[in-house]
Amino acid sequence: KADNGLVVPNRELVDLAAEVQALFDYFDAVADDKGVHLRQSGSASVQADRLMLRRALANLLSNAIRHATPGSVVQVWLTQHESAATLSVDNTGDTIAPELLERIFHRFFRVDPARQRSSEGTGLGLAITRSIVVAHGGQIAATSHDGLTTLTMRLP
């Protein structure tokens, strides 16, 4: 629905640092089981639908933790700009090939075909995240090189 402009965000001022911290509290046990440390830096606020944005952030964090190298750090960077905010999530792990980076936001796409029948996720999380970001008039992109993958969303 969000892809077709059928979902209209109910906007309010959202403190991204507070939302990230709440999600860190939620994912702490999962990250701890994997030996992954969660860190955030910076602050930013946006006019957004809090519940939709929380879903998008949860998808990014869940994905980063799932694919992070055990013992590594999942880092969230927040930056406030004059007319927008950026939120980036970094994790170390397998590098995603450049030709696959755009496809990770497609429904049911998985980088590793061996995971197709795995119980880990549905292949919808990043597609849902992209829909939420687009519904807010933002953009999302991914980079991956030398074992570091970064997903960055920019929201007006």
Question: Rounded CA gap, 101 and 99, in Å?
Answer: 6
Strand order in 85-92's β-sheet? 37-41, 73-80, 85-92, 148-155, 139-145
Q: Would you identify the CATH topology of the domain 2-155?
A: Heat Shock Protein 90 (3.30.565)
Write the CA distances from 1 to 5, 35, 44, 102, integer angstroms. 6, 37, 27, 20
The residue among 104 and 123 whose pLDDT is bigger is 104
Q: Give pTM, 2 decimals.
A: 0.86
- The pLDDT, as a whole number, for residue 99 is 83
35-65 confidence digits (pLDDT tens): 999 999 999 999 999 999 999 999 999 999 9
Structure tokens at 117: 């029948």
- The pLDDT, as a whole number, for residue 145 is 95
List 79's β-bridge partners, or say none: 86
Q: Is the dihedral of CA 36, 28, 111, 52 positive or negative?
A: negative
For residue 140, what are the contacts with CB-CB under 8 A and spacing of at least 6?
A: 105, 129, 130, 133, 134, 151, 152, 153, 154
Letter for the amino acid at 55?
A: R
- For the chain, the structural domain boundaries read 2-155
117-133 confidence digits (pLDDT tens): 444 555 677 889 999 99
